[in-house]
Chain A
Amino acid sequence: MSEPGASHGLLSIRSLSVQLGGRDVLHDVRLDVSGGELVGLIGPNGAGKTTMLRCVLALLPHHGGTITLDGEPPVKRRGTIGYVPQRHEFAWDFPTSVEKAVMSGRVHRVGWLRRPGAADRDAVAQALERVDMTGLRRRPIGELSGGQRQRVLVARALALDPRLLLLDEPFTGLDVPTQELLTALFGQLRQEGKALLMTTHDLPAAAAMCTRLCLLNRTVVADGHPSDLRDPDIWLRAFGVTRSDQLLHSLGVIR
């Protein structure tokens, strides 16, 4: 499969265009994510960030261009990508434990008419360990805090041992300790050669932790190392505004 260094372009998107309800949501999108990268996908609300993730997961059809994962179309790679949706996508009032919620991320690996085996239980235990939730593994998911819930969703994605992780706003509404735990974890995963693509609205944190930022507003406005994106015009263009001191201040682009 992948020897480190040779995993170039694990995810490759070319000239992607997507329409939803007859409206152009994305056009001419080009993006590559390789093993060892943590790419921040940044843009205003409605820029098409979640749409792009859903296309990579083969949840939405695209009308033009190509998406390849290891050279294959997304439909063929279903169930190999770690997906961390926004927290409200998950039924937190469901009567189940942390451990079983994480196991639900492997349901297709376990297979029809089968019970989880030793390999499945090990994967779940390791994933829980990585997000520091081992002590809470039997707790009902309805009793978790926001930060604990986010860690459960990350563990569920990690239980697949995926090479590519897609994270939709993983930092929204988290306290500082949870943010630090996840930041450290994403750094480790990157060093292990995983590819991570996350949407975020926390611009300073993204600039500090990501190896690359991709500014998206219907199409890719800019794509580069955070330090290469210090031109205020790029950011104003990405967010479709003519002037926003707050935006530029928060990035440290102007002082």
Chain B
Amino acid sequence: MNGLLGYLADPWQHVFMQRAFLVAAMSGIVSGVIGTHVVLRGMAFIGDAVSHAVFPGVAIAFVLHTSLVIGGAVTGLLTAIAAAVFSQNRRLKEDSVIGVFFAAAFGLGIVVLSTAPGYSGSLESFLFGQILGISDRDVTTVAVTGAVLLAAALLLHKELVAVSLDRETARALGLPVFALDLVLYALVTITVVISLQAVGNVLVLALLITPATCARLLTDRIGVMMLLAPAIGTLSAVVGLYLSYTYNLAAGGLIVLVATGVFVACWFLAPRHGLLAGLRRRRSVGPAARRPAAVGS
């Protein structure tokens, strides 16, 4: 076997690495699709809140030896619903309320987890991911849950887009805007929960936001964005895992760093919206003859 092929094939002899690749890739795909909505709505902060709120649920489920996915989904959804309710009121600043709640949720999670034996080890695996310790059942859970999430995002795509484009008009047309908000928050929550194992609680937001942000720089079509973001997420996850395997470094951190590298590259090199493209346009056309700017109102 030649060097490169050997390098690529080597991790696959281990079952734990096969599971890691599968879960990382699936997390990348789902996070990319759901993250596209998160980025386009400018709700990265809510994603952050949910990812913290998931923590106490996961901790409680861990202590009680029940499903981590269900535990995390319950507390994450409760927070998401609270956030959705608060944000219906146009006058209230939702970010401070959420700021209070998610810090509290995180504190609660740490307290709950401290009741379990071997506390610091399990805390570490929640915070920073445990992608090398994934069971077959975890793989199945992530696959099935991920498929449901993708189906929901596909089926509600045009309604979610209509609300993102213009909430007031969507409501005037009779769309259940509040219910659609709840569904989107639920999708974000469950995406966070299933991606926890890959990159951990602290970094899960990066998997949601970074690939979608890269994709936004590369295209002006949401459909293309929803293909590019999962591709970038999966690529980052797989490359991060290879680096982790080769150099024996933390997988979750490497996955996020690779995604960040892609982001920096896109920021400079994106064909239309990148820095270089902007400079080139300015030089070749000259400031006076530039396209009429799209004037906002």
Contacts and interface: CB of A to CB of B under 8 A. Distances in A.
A85 B169 contact: yes
Contacts of A90: 165-166, 169
A88 B296 contact: yes
Given A81-B172, A95-B221, A112-B159, A87 B297 contact: yes
Interface in B201-215: none
Interface string A96-109: 11001100110110
B161 A89 contact: no
Q: Identify the 9 closest CB pairs spanning chains A and B, nearest first.
A: A140-B220, A78-B174, A87-B297, A57-B172, A79-B174, A107-B162, A146-B295, A104-B162, A79-B173
B168 A89 contact: yes
8 contacts: A90-B166, A91-B164, A92-B294, A94-B161, A95-B40, A108-B175, A143-B220, A143-B294
A222 B135 CA distance: 75
A209 interface: no
Given A94-B164, A96-B161, A96-B222, A107 B294 contact: no
Interface in B129-187: 155, 158-159, 161-162, 164-166, 168-175
Contact of B155 (A94, A113, A146): A113
Contacts of A142: 220, 294
Contacts of A97: 220-221
Contacts of B172: 57-59, 78-79, 81, 83
Given A107-B173, A108-B173, A145 B297 contact: no
Interface residues of A, number: 39
Nearest to B167: A89
Most A CB contacts (10 A, CB to CB) among B155, B161, B165, B222 go to: B165
Nearest to B219: A95
Contacts of B297: 86-88, 146, 149, 172-173
B292 A145 contact: yes
A96 B296 contact: no
A107 B170 contact: yes
B165 A104 contact: yes
Contacts of A136: none
Given A58-B172, A78-B172, A96 B295 contact: no
Interface string B240-278: 000000000000000000000000000000000000000
B192 interface: no
Contacts of A110: 158
A119 to B, nearest CB: 16
Contact of B296 (A59, A83, A92): A92
A204 B45 CA distance: 46
B45 to A, nearest CB: 17
Contacts of A85: 166, 168-169
B91 to A, nearest CB: 8
B60 interface: no
Contact of A95 (B155, B162, B168, B220): B220
A104 B170 CA distance: 9
A78 B170 CA distance: 10
B22 interface: no
